[in-house]
């Protein structure tokens, strides 16, 4: 399979596992470069929108510009994260104690480990992101936490992600996990329905799978951030509401994120940010 990297991968590391993510194992020690401070970064922009401190002036300026184009951007970002929190708590209530967060962004504020450790400090969390800047930042924040790992990986290559030593050491795939694919599918050009199906098929019965995807109102702001400000973020894919619904239907019933698990659970007003949650069934 041709793996398309986003952004270009770092040079291969010496460990020689043969995995495309070999290089990701060597990311420890990456420092934020001057260039990183001059250009906004998607994940840091999300952090700024959530009120976190893992962002720089350039990210906050981008947020100010984007919020003029899309006044609901902050509400949508917060609703997306609040949805993730409800999913995490739901999974915990089902007895799940291991979480895989794909396209995790920077887990500085309202993070999956923060949500779950409030109710189960022993829960294990594997964070995966394709942006080396995000991975470096995330590792700085959470690598001291037992049972929490951060891996450089591409959600478009499920087998490779699951085969990385960090992910394999953090979660036990023979038991149910909660898999979160939130706020990231608009970076994926591939057939996301097929991708979600592939991920679902890799999970043990009883696992929870949750995904969100910004609907059209979101597109203009994403396109501006993509085209005007960010390095390495080219290729944001915009999909029609119908396409998004079709893809998310692979996961479960599709609703506005504020309406999961029931109408108005996350707020009174729909935000055109769609999500779905499902439980993996016993294989026949």
Give me the residues that bind ligand SAM (CB under 6 A), please: 6, 42-43, 46, 80-81, 84, 102-105, 128-131, 134, 154-156, 182-184, 187-188
**Choice between 156 and 200, CB closer to ligand SAM:** 156
Closer CB to ligand SAM, 96 or 135, in the complex: 135
Look at residues 126, 192, 127, 132 and name the one whose alpha carbon lies nearest to residue 156: 192
Q: Which is nearer to ligand SAM, 14 or 177 (CB)?
A: 177
- Cβ nearer to ligand SAM, comparing 92 with 218: 218
Please tell me whether residue 202 adopts helix, strand or coil conformation. coil
The CB-of-282 to ligand SAM minimum distance in angstroms stands at 29
Q: How is residue 200 written in tokens?
A: 């679902």
Strands (E) located in the chain: 98-102, 124-129, 148-152, 178-181, 208-214, 254-256, 273-279
Tokens of 19: 């995995």
* Strand (E) or helix (H) holding 88: helix 73-93
Minimum CB distance to ligand SAM smaller for 102 or for 254: 102
The closest alpha carbon to 84, from 194, 234, 216, 184, belongs to: 184
Residue 187 is encoded by which pair of tokens? Answer: 């970076």
Characterise 281 by phi-psi region: left (phi > 0), alpha (psi -120 to 50), beta (else): beta
Tokens read off for 251: 């996961």
- Residue 46 CB, nearest distance to ligand SAM (Å)? 5
Residue 101: CB minimum distance to ligand SAM, A:
6
Q: Are 261 and 90 in contact (CB under 8 A)?
A: yes
Token pair for 181: 């694919």
Which of 80, 207 has the CB closer to ligand SAM?
A: 80
Selection from 91, 84, 155 nearest residue 123 by Cα: 91
Three-state DSSP state, 181? strand
């Amino acid at each position: 399979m041709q793996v398309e990297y986003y952004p270009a991968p770092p040079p291969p590391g010496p460990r020689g596992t043969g995995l495309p993510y070999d290089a990701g194992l060597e990311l420890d020690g990456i420092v934020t470069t001057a260039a990183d401070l001059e250009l906004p970064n998607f994940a840091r922009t999300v952090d700024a929108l959530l009120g976190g401190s893992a962002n720089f002036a350039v990210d906050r300026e981008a947020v100010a510009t984007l919020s003029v184009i899309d006044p609901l951007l902050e509400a949508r970002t917060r609703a997306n994260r609040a949805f993730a929190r409800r999913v995490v708590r739901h999974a915990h209530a089902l007895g799940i104690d291991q979480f895989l967060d794909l396209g995790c962004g920077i887990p500085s504020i309202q993070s999956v480990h923060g949500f779950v450790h409030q109710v189960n400090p022993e829960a294990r969390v594997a964070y995966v992101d394709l942006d080396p800047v995000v991975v470096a930042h995330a590792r700085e924040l959470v690598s001291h936490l037992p049972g929490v790992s951060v891996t450089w990986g591409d959600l478009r290559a499920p087998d490779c992600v699951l085969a990385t030593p960090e992910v394999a050491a953090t979660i036990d795939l023979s038991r149910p996990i909660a898999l979160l694919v939130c706020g990231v599918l608009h970076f994926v050009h591939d057939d996301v329905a097929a991708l979600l199906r592939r991920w679902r098929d890799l999970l043990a019965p009883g696992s929870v799978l949750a995904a969100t995807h910004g609907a059209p109102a979101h597109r203009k702001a994403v396109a501006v951030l993509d085209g005007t400000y960010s390095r390495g973020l080219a290729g944001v894919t915009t999909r029609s509401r119908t396409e998004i619904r079709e893809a998310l239907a692979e996961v479960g019933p599709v609703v506005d994120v504020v309406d999961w698990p029931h109408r108005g659970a996350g707020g009174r007003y729909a935000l055109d940010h769609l999500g779905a949650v499902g439980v993996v069934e016993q294989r026949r």
